[in-house]
Amino acid sequence: MTAVLEIEERASRGNGDVVAGWYGVCAVADLEPGWGEAALISGRQVALFRTLAGEVFAVAQEDPATGAHVMARGITGSRGARPTIASPLHKEVYDLATGECLTAPGLRLATFATRVVNGYIEVEL
């Protein structure tokens, strides 16, 4: 499935081409639990995840170790109570909430705030 974007700008333009603010991305029901989907939000590639517990996360689509835009195809899981994503390339494991790399210190995955409004996911850039 590909997430269809319904972009709504709610803030002024920041530095660069990405417009800061909250963006409506897709319905929560459009994300299959345990799988990732890629979305293009204001020129930024973002990977979206809905965990089996129903939490929604947004991270950079770019793999910090290689620069490839593949994180939506990563393997979801957990370390204790921490939901994680493992890169599909070299299997580095990242905390979905914080972006901390749990297997290779020094790497960090960019994360974005999410919220659900009336059944739709919004991501803050």
pLDDT of the residue at 16: 54
Domain, as residue range, for 56: 22-124
- Position 60 confidence tier, pLDDT thresholds 50, 70, 90: very high
Token output for 27: 């319905």
Q: Do 9 and 122 meet the contact criterion of CB atoms below 8 Å apart?
A: no
What distance lies between CA 24 and its chain's CA centroid? 13
**Tally of domains within the chain:** 1
- Is residue 9 in a domain? no
CA distance 36 to 72: 4
- Is residue 58 in a domain? yes
pLDDT of the residue at 4: 43
Average pLDDT, the chain: 89
- Is residue 13 in a domain? no
CATH of the domain at 59: 2.102.10.10
Across 83-95, average pLDDT: 97
pLDDT of the residue at 5: 45
- Is residue 17 in a domain? no
- Is residue 16 in a domain? no
- Is residue 106 in a domain? yes
- Position 18 confidence tier, pLDDT thresholds 50, 70, 90: low
